[in-house]
Structure 1
């Protein structure tokens, strides 16, 4: 199915002058001086932490040097109308705004299916990229959306994500995800120099009931010592990581603590869905 895309202008919805097969394909037509957010729906028109996404959009705009004050009810109403018109069922959607035209929103939808149970049960293999941690990481910018494509395109077959290392070799984040390591029974994740993920907010709320949490990144030299690892993003939730740079994590399968976190995450999501 093609991506369903509209411009939300002060006078209403308007068509765009391009077509795309997916959100990834549509990104090439979007400005490189803007900010955005991406998430998905549940039960067609229910959302999770949408206000947190919109809060981050306003904060990202401020960090990018322009003022953005969102009409949240208008965005919610528009998203609902577009989702029902598209007829895709659950969707993954992106809302983008440029510094040049902060009054116009690019709203793009694609059909959404969550990660397969097989992927969750098996876990994924990832790699690292040296000295690749991004500047202004707390801004969810379209400049990074475009820049990360080179790293994504360079991933070998069978690799799920690339983890960005800072200049000192600390594991900061994925291309579009937060990264977590379990070391000595403690959950470790970078507290600075990364995008504050919406899924990360949920993990940090449920995790203290399961294990201690430390807001410090693990180092690349500690990969062979990690007991468990996983990544998170809004559209994927928790994805277990069982190999990094061809080094097996723990027993090479999703670990007990990760499974407990997944269960707690899903329970939190089920209890906090909101209608658009």
Structure 2
């Protein structure tokens, strides 16, 4: 039976209990992170947890314990559930209180929950993705990794119904990111991606990609792309915690390049893979 983290306790799934007055349930009033596990080890865990605490600070929520203790608890959770390949999901809500929009009093403690998910031992190599452009109607603080994901869900569903893996979000024709990913185009050997701002979430995988580019001498331009720019790209790829770097073969029914991963994308995928942790010893 799987173990879950509930605040500072490790409990079995039948012991998990969330109040109906939890503000995450009422308002989506909280933040979260998803951390990939490779060989029993969390990848970029400090960066993910650091971003979680930054998001909490931006919504004026003080978590009941610090980043180091959080990392320790998540490490134990992975060990308790014997996760070799998979991810850990952790979220914090502002807590349980009577339903009023303003913040509850300081006596209300945030609620932290976390669980793990295991992936197949033999990874399935995904096909290059197809994208559908969708209007970005989200709020103006996309830099906060909050639980308010309804607009993302609607965009993902629109892409899904069009036979696509992901939505390519744009504001008045300017591409921002995906519904659950960051976006990158390649033209004449240069990678283009939206600059870090309140319009996108600065993905942890995105940060690793930027580091890889610096290390291998890959030119990058952090400049907004228009939809017209996107349609003429030589290569295109997306990034996320769960997929790493995923090449894109088609956007709005138009083939990208040859429809297969291009040389820049493949070189970057190799550089990214080289950064993945060595598997932890099995117990």
TM-score class, shorter-chain normalisation, is: 0.7 to 0.9
Are 2:78 and 2:88, in contact at CA under 8 Å, matched by a contact in 1?
A: no
- In structure 1, the residue matched to 2:228 is 221
- In structure 2, the residue matched to 1:39 is 35
SS in 2 for 1:74: helix
Q: Give how far 1:267 is off.
A: 0.8
Aligned residue runs from structure 1 range 68-217, under 5 A: 68=63, 70-100=65-95, 103-113=110-120, 116-117=124-125, 119=126, 122-144=127-149, 146-154=150-158, 155-156=160-161, 158-167=163-172, 169-191=173-195, 192=197, 193-208=199-214, 209-217=216-224
Q: Give how far 1:54 is off.
A: 1.2
> Structure 2 CA distance, aligned partners of 1:147 and 1:219?
21
CA RMSD of aligned residues (A): 2.6
> Structure 2 CA distance, aligned partners of 1:111 and 1:269?
17
Q: Give how far 1:149 is off.
A: 2.0
Task: Find 1:58's aligned residue among 43, 53, 58.
Answer: 53
1:261 aligns with 2:268: yes
Compare the two structures and name the one with the higher helix fraction: 1
> Structure 1 CA distance, aligned partners of 2:30 and 2:117?
21
Q: Give how far 1:165 is off.
A: 0.4
> Structure 1 CA distance, aligned partners of 2:46 and 2:65?
10
Range with bigger deviation, 100-109 or 230-239: 100-109
SS in 2 for 1:143: coil
Q: Give how far 1:29 is off.
A: 6.3
1:13 aligns with 2:21: no
TM-score, normalisation: structure 2: 0.81
**Structure 1 runs not aligned, ≥5 long:** 19-27
Q: Give how far 1:236 is off.
A: 1.5
Q: Give how far 1:177 is off.
A: 0.8
> Structure 1 CA distance, aligned partners of 2:233 and 2:2?
39
> Structure 2 CA distance, aligned partners of 1:150 and 1:3?
31
CA pair 97-131 structure 1, distance change in 2 beyond 3 A: closer
Q: Give how far 1:68 is off.
A: 3.5
CA pair 136-30 structure 1, distance change in 2 beyond 3 A: same
> Structure 2 CA distance, aligned partners of 1:243 and 1:94?
30
TM-score, normalisation: structure 1: 0.83
